[in-house]
Amino acid sequence: MPKPFILHMLTTAKNLSPFDVNMAVDAGWVSATPYINVEASEVRGLVQDAIFSRSPKGLKSTGIFIGGRETKQAMDMLKTAKNSMAPPFEVSVFADPSGAFTTAAGLVAVAEDKLKTLFDTDFAGKTVLSLGGTGPVGQAAAVLAAQAGANVKIIGRQLEKAQRIADMCNAEFCDGKPKITAGADADKAKYMDEVDVIFATGAAGIELLSAELIASAPKLKVVADVNAVPPSGVAGLDAFDNGKALAGSSSGAVGIGALAIGNVKYQVQSALLKRMITTEKPVYLHFEHAFTAARDYIQSKK
């Protein structure tokens, strides 16, 4: 008799995201079992309890999902999980803390598509601002854009924190190359002369980019906002916008709203959860795999 599909869902938070549970079950996982307040030191034991309770054949119906809130912590837990396997006792693992990896993948992939289709260019050599970029979505989006060739500045309310996170992203995810720098929110007007792309990734209900700043940016091409809760993170941007011209932009910049990004995020998370079920060999999935899936999804719709 085939083993039921069980996804062991680990989070460092006090609650597991209902969004992630729904996504897992809808993707085909029969059971989405939560483990809350998980500490990094507990990952190895939890993983080995999961892999040694089934035969190698039965483990094809077993997976591990890593949630939480912190980008680096989730990647470290993913690495620990991988190192805890004892082939042939091995299962797939997918890290997506607070949905940040799949959201960032959707954000950057849609922005990249608009650069290509509307401006005949890409991220290479472009200047990107990640507003509210000290959070997990802003971090992951900054790294993906930097890996695609952009010069990225993470903007936060506290410059010291933004610099610390930029340094971490460079060290951990950009091969130590300083592709990501930091800036303070109070100084963002200074960066408008050179910016090509802006990501608004801050807390819900806070406007991060005003109409005045949009109008003052002579090279601006694409602005994308992940916040679906009014007011918009970008002045004049609707959550459904998907390449609509931004009012007041002297450069012809277009806007991408949260629901346009969210559709891609949804498709990507679903695809990766299904991939864990169908793969013949265990896979270890994170923001880079999510970005590839987002690009593939966008191309498939053309």
Tell how strand 254-256 and strand 242-245 pair up: antiparallel
Same domain, yes or no: 153 and 20: no
Token pair recorded at residue 233: 């993170």
Collect contacts of 31-38 with beta carbons under 8 A, ≥24 apart: 31/4, 31/5, 31/6, 31/7, 32/7, 32/65, 33/6, 33/7, 33/8, 33/9, 34/9, 35/8, 35/9, 35/10, 35/11, 36/11, 37/11, 37/12, 37/13, 38/10, 38/11, 38/12, 38/68, 38/77
pLDDT of residue 179: 87
Please check whether residues 238 and 281 belong to one and the same domain.
Answer: no
Both 152 and 42 in one domain: the answer is: no
The answer for residues whose C-beta is within 8 angstroms of residue 101's C-beta and 6 or more apart is: 74, 95, 140, 286, 287, 290
Strand order in the sheet with 92-95: 31-35, 6-10, 62-66, 92-95, 284-285
250 and 114 within one domain: yes
- pLDDT score at 203: 86
Same domain, 60 and 198: no
Do 25 and 51 sit in the same domain of this protein?
yes
Residue 31: CATH number of its domain: 3.40.50.10280
Question: What pLDDT is stored for residue 119 in this prediction?
Answer: 98
* Domain count along the chain: 2
Which pLDDT score, from 0 to 100, does residue 2 have? 78
- What local confidence, expressed as pLDDT, does residue 177 receive? 76
One-letter identity of residue 131:
L
Position 216 scores a pLDDT of 97
In a domain, 70, yes or no: yes
Please give the residue range of the domain that contains residue 49. Answer: 6-99+266-300
Q: Are residues 164 and 188 in the same domain?
A: yes
CA-CA distance, 139 to 284, in Å (whole number)? 20
* One domain for residues 75 and 163: no
**CATH value at residue 219:** 3.40.50.720
Centroid of chain to Cα 51: 28
Q: What are the φ and ψ backbone dihedral angles of 197, each rounded to 5 degrees?
A: -135, 140
Q: Are residues 233 and 131 in the same domain?
A: yes
C-beta atoms surrounding 258 within 10 Å: 27
Q: Residue 92: beta bridge partners?
A: 63
Q: Distance between terminal CA atoms of the chain?
A: 42
Residue at 279 is within a domain: yes
Residues in a beta bridge with 153: 129, 181
pLDDT at 155 (0 to 100): 98
pLDDT (tens, 9 = 90+) of the chain, 302 residues, equals 678 999 999 999 999 999 999 999 999 999 999 999 999 999 999 999 999 999 998 899 999 999 998 999 999 999 999 999 999 999 999 999 999 999 999 999 999 999 999 999 999 999 999 999 999 999 999 999 999 999 999 999 999 999 999 999 999 998 877 789 999 999 999 999 999 999 999 988 889 999 999 999 999 999 999 998 888 999 999 999 999 999 999 999 999 999 999 999 999 999 999 999 999 999 999 999 999 999 999 999 98
Displacement of CA 187 from its chain's centroid (Å): 25
Task: Examine the domain organization and report whether 135 and 255 are in the same domain.
Answer: yes
Q: Would residue 1 count as lying in a domain?
A: no
DSSP 75-134: HHHHHHHHHT-BTTB--EEEE-GGGHHHHHHHHHHHHHHHHHHHHS--STT-EEEEETTT
42 and 148 fall within a common domain? no
In a domain, 215, yes or no: yes
Same-domain pairing of 107 and 214: yes
- Residue 230's pLDDT is 87
Q: Please check whether residue 59 lies inside any domain of the structure.
A: yes
- Asked, for residue 185, whether it belongs to a domain, the answer is yes
Q: Which two tokens stand for residue 276?
A: 């864990």
